[in-house]
Amino acid sequence: MRRAKYVQFFALAALIATSVVGCNIFNPGGKEHISDDDTDALVYEGYIDIQKSEYTRAAQNFSKALKADSACSKAWYGLAKAVLNQYGLNVFEMLKYSKTENNTNGFMTMPDAAVEKYRVGIDTVLKVLDQFIDRDTTDRTDKQIRFSTVANSYTILQLTNVAILIRKANSEAETMFSYDGSSNQIAIDWSSLHNLPTDEAVQTITALASSAEALKADPDNTFPIFRSFLPGTDTVPDDEFRDGALAVTDQIINMSDNLTNHPDRAEVFIRAGNGIDDDGDGCIDEEVWDGQDNDGDGEIDEDQRPGSVLVYKSHTSRRAVAALKIPEGSIYETLDIDMNGVAKETDEWEFIYAAPEDRESQKNHFLKFAMKINFVPGPNGDMIKNKELARLDKDINNIQYDLAWRKINIGGCWVNYSESDFINWFQGRN
C-alpha cells in the first residue's frame, strides 16, 4: 500500500497557506480589515486559522470567501479541511479502522457514540466536497485544486460512510463486499441492504457510487484504499485487484443511475435477491444485473436476482453475463420465478441467446421464460403505470386491484397465478 500518498491531503493545506502569501501582500494580517469580498485575503486567513487550530473561524473565513467567489477551489478545499477538523475527524484513523487484524471492519465493533460522531462529521464534510466535486467536474472552479487531489480522502470518507450505514443495517454483517480469488471477482452482497429503511439503502448506494467515481478518477491512489475495505485481498496482485475493482464500479454507478432516474421507485431496484416481486408484475426476482431488459416489460434491471447468480465471461467484462447459476443453498433452489408451478426451470435460468455477443447482435437479452408471458401496456402505452398500481396495492385487507384485473391489465407472470398464489403474494409486504 502506498500510504505515503495519503499525506497529500494534510501536507497540502500547509503548502497552500504558504503559497497564497504571494497574492496577499496587501493583507497586513489584521482580520478586522478584511472586506467580505476579498476572496484571497479570506482564504489566506482561513489557512492561518487552520494552522492555529481555530477551525470554526477558519470555516467562517472560507465560507465568506466562497460567497464572494464560489469558483475558488482553495476555499472549497480549506472549508472541507476545516469542517473535518471541527468534528475531530482524521482520515488516517478512518483508514486504520477500516480493517483490524482479524479482517473485520473496525466500525462494526465501535461504540455507538463514537460511530455517531463519525457519521455526523462525515455527512457534513461530504456535503462540502460533493459541491466542490460537482463544480470541478463541470468547469465551475478556478482549477487550482482539482478533484484528483482529494480523491483519496474522498474515497476513505465515502467508504467509511458505507461501513457505518451497513453497521446500522445489521451489526452481524462484516462487510457487503467479498473477494473471490479463484475468479478474481469482487462480489457485492446486496442483502446487507434488505434490513435498511429505503432512504438509508439509497444513501448507501449513492455513497458507493460516489466511491466508484473517485476510484475511476484517481485509481493509483484510491485502489489501495478500496483494498483495505475488502477482507481477503491483501495477497492479490495489484493489477488483478484493479481489474476486478474497476469492473464492479460501473455496476454500482449503473444501479445509482437507476435510483436517480426513478426516485419514487427505489424499492424496485435496491432489494436485489429478496425473493419478493418488487415491481408488481407477478414475477419474482426475474431480472439479472446486466443493464438490459430480460423479461420484456420495457424496464431494465428492476426486481433483480442477486449478483451471486451471475457468471461473467471474464472478470474484466462485467456486463457480459455468460450464464446464470443457482447458488447452492440459496432461495432459488425452491423459488418459482415465473410462478408457473415449477421452480429451477431452465426457462427461468437460460437466455434465449446463450452467447453474450449473440444477445448484443440480435438486440435480445430475454430469458426464455419471457417468451411465454406478455406485458399489457397501461394507458398511453405506459409500461410501468399498471405495474406501479399493483406494486403499491399492498394491503391484503383492502385490495384495490384483484387478480383478474392484474391478469388483464398487466399480464406478465400474473397469468400464472392461482387465487391462493395471489394471497401469498401479499406476505412480507407492509
- When asked if residue 249 is in the footprint of Ca ion (CB under 5 A), the reply is no
User: Hey, how many other C-beta atoms are within 10 angstroms of the C-beta on 263?
Assistant: 8
Q: CB neighbours of 82 closer than 8 A, spacing ≥ 6?
A: 46, 49, 50, 55, 56, 58, 59, 62
Q: Cell 385490495 sits at which residue?
A: 399
DSSP H/E element including 310? strand 310-312
> Nearest approach, Cβ of 390 to Ca ion (angstroms)?
10
Q: Quick one: DSSP state of residue 304?
A: B
> Nearest approach, Cβ of 194 to Ca ion (angstroms)?
10
Which residue from 40, 301, 348, 393 is in contact with Ca ion, where contact means CB under 5 A? 301
Which residue from 299, 336, 348, 393 is in contact with Ca ion, where contact means CB under 5 A? 299
Q: Decide whether 255 or 283 has the Cβ nearer to Ca ion.
A: 283
User: Hey, how many other C-beta atoms are within 10 angstroms of the C-beta on 197?
Assistant: 10
Tell me how far apart the alpha carbons of residues 137 and 139 are, in angstroms, rounded to a whole number.
Answer: 6
Check: CB of residue 291 under 8 Å from CB of residue 319. Answer: yes
What letter represents residue 389's amino acid? L
Beta bridge partners of 274: none
From the list 28-36, 99-107, 204-212, 296-304, the region that binds Ca ion by CB under 5 A is 296-304
Which residue from 38, 49, 174, 297 is in contact with Ca ion, where contact means CB under 5 A? 297
Q: Decide whether 157 or 324 has the Cβ nearer to Ca ion.
A: 324
Size of the site for Ca ion (CB under 5 A): 18
> Nearest approach, Cβ of 138 to Ca ion (angstroms)?
30
Which residue from 45, 174, 213, 295 is in contact with Ca ion, where contact means CB under 5 A? 295
> Nearest approach, Cβ of 328 to Ca ion (angstroms)?
20
> Nearest approach, Cβ of 395 to Ca ion (angstroms)?
19
Instruction: Tell me the per-residue interface mask from 264 to 293 with Ca ion, x by CB under 5 A, - otherwise.
Output: ----------x-xxxx-x-x-x-x--x-xx
Q: Decide whether 40 or 277 has the Cβ nearer to Ca ion.
A: 277
> Nearest approach, Cβ of 303 to Ca ion (angstroms)?
4
What letter represents residue 203's amino acid? Q
> Nearest approach, Cβ of 253 to Ca ion (angstroms)?
16
DSSP string, 239-298: HHHHHHHHHHHHHHHHHHHHHHH-GGGHHHHH-TT-SS--SSSS-SS-B-SSSS-SSSSS
Give 190: exposed, middle or buried? Use CB within 10 Å, 0-12, 13-18, 19+: buried
Classify 187 as helix, strand or coil: strand
Tell me how far apart the alpha carbons of residues 37 and 48 are, in angstroms, rounded to a whole number.
Answer: 18
- When asked if residue 393 is in the footprint of Ca ion (CB under 5 A), the reply is no
- When asked if residue 303 is in the footprint of Ca ion (CB under 5 A), the reply is yes
> Nearest approach, Cβ of 381 to Ca ion (angstroms)?
16
According to CB under 5 A, which residues from 139 to 158 bind Ca ion? none
Q: Decide whether 147 or 425 has the Cβ nearer to Ca ion.
A: 425
Q: Decide whether 231 or 298 has the Cβ nearer to Ca ion.
A: 298
> Nearest approach, Cβ of 110 to Ca ion (angstroms)?
32
Q: Decide whether 42 or 310 has the Cβ nearer to Ca ion.
A: 310
What percentage of the chain's residues is helix, strand, coil (to nearest 5)? 55, 5, 40
Q: Shortest Cβ contact with Ca ion: which residue?
A: 303
- Contacting positions for Ca ion (CB under 5 A): 274, 276-279, 281, 283, 285, 287, 290, 292-295, 297, 299, 301, 303
